[in-house]
Amino acid sequence: MSDTYLQLDKLTLAYGDTVAVKDLDLSIRKGELVALLGPSGCGKTTTMRSIAGLLNPASGRITLDGADITRVSANKRNVGLVFQSYALFPHLTVYENVAFGLRLKGVSGQDLDSKVTAGIKSVGLASFAARKPGELSGGQQQRVALARSMVMEPKVLLLDEPLSNLDARLRLEMRAELQRVQKETGVTMIFVTHDQIEALALADRIVVMLNGGIEQIGTPEEIYNKPVSAFVADFVGFENVFALENGKLATSNSLVELSAPVPQAARGLAWRPRMVILGSGPFQGTVRGTSFAGNVREYLLDTPLGPIKAEVDAGEPSHAIGSALSFDLPLAAAAPLSRYR
């Protein structure tokens, strides 16, 4: 990538004898908003800690804006970090929390005041400068933590599960706030999350991680519509995932013929629940569970293929538990997987 701003080369990270990330390569452009997405233990937070300078690599290299920072101390990297817990000083006002890092750098007087005032204003808290963290909502505290990092003018801003402590409504508001601040300032931003919806909604690119490595990198649209592996497919909502053997679906009991040839390079096929056609088709199943979810009704079927999850419009006639149903897995709707394991 010719316009690389942050580069991780063959990065291996370990805690003692336990390797958490191995030979990781990642290129990030200036001004990008990138999500490190994956389940607990996949290596995403460890990777972020190494970029911040909180964990020294066992091997490999980190370069930022053309400079090798692999062994540069955390306080000299010009990398901002917003913790999941916000880490605000409870006895200081919003103004003083935002000013804290600048004061440590020797900024004072009018320069300090203008930077702090602009930072607080940028996150929509101009009228809250005199309040203390205990007088703020969770979303407002998150904004203070964001402003505190942004006023330091970091080359890269790292956010560790930034929205996990917020309720659903505040998460939506903070997604919009993070996008606005990032686009207005142009800061390169990397955030760690286990929430695929959050990553899809916020990121320019998503790095899906598993077992200390990268499973897939792509735009939200690419990750959502074109997963390359069974893990990624399942992680982004393709809940009916099958391996392929000799062009047939591999189930726990047998190989099942499909109605049309599958892509030659495919090692698996995946369908979202809404892609399953209920009421007609070559396969048979029995309703094991059903649930109403607003505008849709969800079904779990026991079938010779294994469990199948289906989703239909809530206005369609419902099927009781125990009902026998035919169904289809249309090949045209399936996502072909280049890797099954």
Instruction: Mark whether 32 and 143 lie in a shared domain.
Output: yes
Strands 205-210 and 213-218: antiparallel
Does the predicted TM-score (pTM) go above 0.75?
Answer: yes
The neighbour count for residue 61, using CB atoms within 10 Å, is 14
What total of structural domains would you count in the chain? 2
Last residue within a domain, chosen from 230, 263, 278: 230
Last residue within a domain, chosen from 230, 251, 270: 230
Which residues 6+ apart lie within 8 Å of 171 measured at CB? 163, 198
pLDDT at 1: 43
Residue corresponding to tokens 């040839």: 261
Instruction: Mark whether 105 and 196 lie in a shared domain.
Output: yes
> Using CA atoms, how far apart are residues 287 and 290, in angstroms rounded to an integer?
7
Q: Domain span at residue 61?
A: 4-230
Instruction: Mark whether 56 and 119 lie in a shared domain.
Output: yes
Which residues 6+ apart lie within 8 Å of 168 measured at CB? none
Last residue within a domain, chosen from 230, 249, 282: 230
Which residues 6+ apart lie within 8 Å of 245 measured at CB? 255
Query: Are the CB atoms for 198 and 172 separated by under 8 Å?
Result: no
Instruction: Mark whether 266 and 191 lie in a shared domain.
Output: no
Instruction: Mark whether 16 and 160 lie in a shared domain.
Output: yes
> Using CA atoms, how far apart are residues 35 and 192, in angstroms rounded to an integer?
6
> Using CA atoms, how far apart are residues 70 and 93, in angstroms rounded to an integer?
35
Instruction: Mark whether 204 and 292 lie in a shared domain.
Output: no
190 is written with which tokens? 């990397």
Q: What does the pLDDT profile of the chain (341 residues) look like in tens digits? A: 458 999 999 999 999 999 999 999 999 999 999 999 999 999 999 999 999 999 999 999 999 999 999 999 998 999 998 887 778 899 999 999 999 999 998 999 999 999 999 999 888 899 999 999 999 988 888 889 889 998 999 999 999 887 777 777 777 777 888 888 888 889 999 999 999 999 999 999 999 999 999 999 999 999 999 999 999 999 999 999 999 998 899 998 889 988 888 888 899 999 999 999 999 999 999 999 999 989 999 999 999 999 999 999 999 989 999 999 999 999 999 999 999 87
> Using CA atoms, how far apart are residues 280 and 240, in angstroms rounded to an integer?
18
282 is written with which tokens? 């070559």
Instruction: Mark whether 196 and 259 lie in a shared domain.
Output: no
